[in-house]
Amino acid sequence: MTVRGLAGRVVGETRLRQAAEAVRTARTAFGLSGLTHVATVYGTDKVGDHHYTPHYARHLARFRRRRFTLLEIGVFEGASLRTWRRYFPRAQIVGLDIEDKRVHAGRRISVYQGDQSDAALLERIVRETGRPDVVIDDGSHHSDHVRATFATLFPLLADDGVYVIEDTQTSYWPTFNGSLDRHDTTTTMALVKDLLDGLNHEEFLDEDYRPSDLDRTVVAVHAYHNLVVIEKGRNCEGSNKSRLRDYL
């Protein structure tokens, strides 16, 4: 190969690399890149410290091009809010933090300050921003706060919404009002286990049992390492109890 030919090849390869980088930049700018990449760019701990982004990408895929509202408890330095804004180009992003994090508010991002277990505050946020389609609890991680927040927000969640609880490892840590006793009924994971039972309430043989609103509206519970994803809908598929006689 001549010197001129070699130089032309180098220039061509350089232009290809530059073009590829431009495409990657454009994909990120318009929210078309993978969630893990976007999360890495913005520095949220949903990737790296944790491995949540593949689960989020799978469970929130149907929202990618929709207009919807995402409410996240816990703002910290705003990286997560900016990640969601970029990844969901038509979403309204709402954040709540115990500290004043309004510096992170901006285009399509609203930020509130307050206690996540304050039911009146949560209800006001929903009145002002609309029913959330997605709720992410990445707040204090204290079991009592997580349970109180869920009790208020899940009924206010859109009928086909998704509710996510992060960092459920704290359910086993007394420092976060968790418990060393895995059978403790007051922890975050105890709530999750109750939801799993309620998911199958139509199969209970207790004739006096009256299903709760949660029993009737939780249609799926997905548990991952330190992460739980709960789907809302109409849990009324019917019972298989009539087949019991086949096993007697």
Residue 58 three-state SS:
helix
What is the model's pLDDT at position 206? 87
**Is the same domain home to 65 and 157?**
yes
**Domain shared by 141 and 222, yes or no:** yes
The number of domains in the chain is 2
Which pTM does this prediction carry?
0.84
Q: Is 110 helix (H, G, I), strand (E, B) or coil?
A: strand
Kindly state whether residues 112 and 181 are assigned to the same domain. Answer: yes
CATH code (residue 217): 3.40.50.150
Torsion of CA 163, 77, 130, 232, to 10 degrees: 0
Instruction: Find the domain containing 21 and state its range.
Output: 1-30
Catalytic annotation present for 50: no
**Given the residues 141, 142, 145, 201, the one annotated as active site:** 141
**Residue 73 in 3-state DSSP?**
strand
Residues 153 and 215 in one domain: yes
Neighbours of 185 (CB within 10 A): 10
Asked if residue 8 and residue 91 are part of one domain, the reply reads no
Distance CA 244, CA 241 (A): 5
- CB proximity list for 22: less than 8 A, separation 6 or greater: none
Q: Are residues 23 and 141 in the same domain?
A: no
- CA angle, 119 then 125 then 128, to 5°: 140
Averaged pLDDT in 10-residue chunks for the chain of 248 residues: 57 64 49 80 92 96 96 96 97 98 96 98 98 97 97 98 97 94 95 97 90 96 98 93 71
Contact 94, 168 (CB under 8 A): no
User: Is 218 buried (19+), middle (13-18) or exposed (0-12) by CB count in 10 A?
Assistant: buried
pLDDT score, position 31: 41
Identify which of 176, 241, 174 has the alpha carbon closest to the alpha carbon of residue 205: 241
